[in-house]
C-alpha cells in the first residue's frame, strides 16, 4: 500500500470531530496525485453528506457552469482534486451551514496538498477557503475576490457558488462578467494541455 493510499485511508477513517457533528463523521473528498486543478470548498452540505459525492448539489451545478466543464469532466480525478476545508457535514446554524471545524484542515490539509505535484490552479471558494489559501483572514470575501488578479494565474479566489449567494452575485455583476470568463479560459487551457500530455 502506497504512502498516499495510506494517508487517504486515514482521512476517510477520521473521527476527530465526530462528537460535534450532527450526522456523525463521513469525510467527503476526491484527490488523486495526477490532479492539475484543486477545488477548495468549505464543507459538505447535507445532500453531499448523504450521497458521499462532492458538490453533488445546486452549488456544484453552478460551480461547473462557472468552470465551463461537464459533470464527467469535473469528477475526473486526473484533472480535479475536490478537497474542502472540512471533510464532514458540520450541521446548520441560523444563517446556513456551520463553518468547517478548524481541526480538520489543521490535521490533514498540508499533508494532502503536498501530494499534488502537478497542481497548476487552486480555486478557493468562500470565506474559510479564502482565508486559508489567500492568507488575508481580516479581509472580507468581496475584498479578496475583487483582488483576484493579484493571485492569478495559480490561485483564483471566488465567492461560494451556493444559492445563498444569489444576492451577492446580483450586487457584484463584475464577478460573472470578468472573473468567470477568465476562469473558464484558464481551466480550458489546463485541461487541454493535460489531455495532450496524456495523448503523447
Nearest to residue 141, comparing CAs of 118, 110, 175?
Answer: 175
With vertex at residue 159, the alpha carbon angle to CA 144 and CA 19, rounded to the nearest 5 degrees, is 105
- Mean of per-residue pLDDT scores for the chain: 94
Whole-prediction pTM value?
0.95
Q: Residue 61 in 3-state DSSP?
A: helix
Nearest to residue 43, comparing CAs of 66, 20, 65?
Answer: 20
Block residue for cell numbers 494517508: 7
Among 9-13, 85-89, 92-96, 127-131, the minimum mean pLDDT is found in 92-96
Q: What are the φ/ψ torsions at residue 155 (nearest 5 degrees)?
A: -140, 130
126: region left, alpha or beta (phi > 0 left; psi from -120 to 50 alpha): left
> DSSP for 109-158?
HHHHHTT-TT--EEEEEHHHHHHHHH--TTS-HHHHHHTGGGTTTTEEEE
Nearest to residue 92, comparing CAs of 22, 167, 162?
Answer: 22
Q: What are the tens digits of pLDDT across the range 2-50?
A: 899 999 999 999 999 998 899 999 999 999 999 999 999 999 999 999 9
Q: What are the tens digits of pLDDT across the range 101-135?
A: 999 999 999 999 999 999 999 999 999 999 999 98
The mean pLDDT value for 124-152 works out to 94
Instruction: Summarize the chain as % helix, strand, coil (round to 5).
Output: 50, 10, 40
| Fold topology of 3-199 | Uracil-DNA Glycosylase, subunit E (3.40.470)
Nearest to residue 107, comparing CAs of 7, 40, 29, 32?
Answer: 7
pLDDT at res. 97: 82
Domain map of the chain by residue range? 3-199
pLDDT at res. 200: 56
Amino acid at each position: 500500500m502506497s504512502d498516499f493510499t495510506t494517508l487517504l485511508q486515514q482521512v476517510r477513517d477520521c473521527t476527530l470531530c465526530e462528537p460535534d457533528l450532527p450526522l456523525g463523521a463521513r469525510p467527503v473528498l476526491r484527490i488523486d496525485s495526477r490532479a492539475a486543478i484543486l477545488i477548495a470548498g468549505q464543507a459538505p452540505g447535507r445532500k453531499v453528506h448523504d450521497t458521499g459525492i462532492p458538490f453533488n448539489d445546486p452549488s456544484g451545478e453552478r460551480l461547473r457552469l462557472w468552470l465551463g466543464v461537464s459533470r464527467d469532466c469535473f469528477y475526473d480525478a486526473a484533472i480535479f482534486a475536490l478537497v474542502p476545508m472540512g471533510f464532514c457535514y458540520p450541521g446548520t446554524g441560523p444563517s446556513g451551514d456551520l463553518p468547517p471545524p478548524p481541526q480538520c484542515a489543521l490535521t490533514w490539509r498540508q499533508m494532502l496538498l503536498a501530494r499534488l505535484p502537478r497542481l497548476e490552479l487552486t480555486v478557493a471558494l468562500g470565506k474559510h477557503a479564502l482565508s486559508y489559501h489567500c492568507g488575508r483572514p481580516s479581509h472580507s470575501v468581496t475584498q479578496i475576490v475583487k483582488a483576484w488578479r493579484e493571485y492569478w494565474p495559480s490561485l483564483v479566489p471566488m465567492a461560494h457558488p451556493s444559492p445563498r449567494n444569489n444576492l451577492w452575485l446580483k450586487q457584484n455583476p463584475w464577478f460573472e462578467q470578468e472573473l468567470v470568463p477568465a476562469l473558464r479560459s484558464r481551466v480550458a487551457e489546463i485541461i487541454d494541455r493535460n489531455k495532450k500530455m496524456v495523448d503523447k
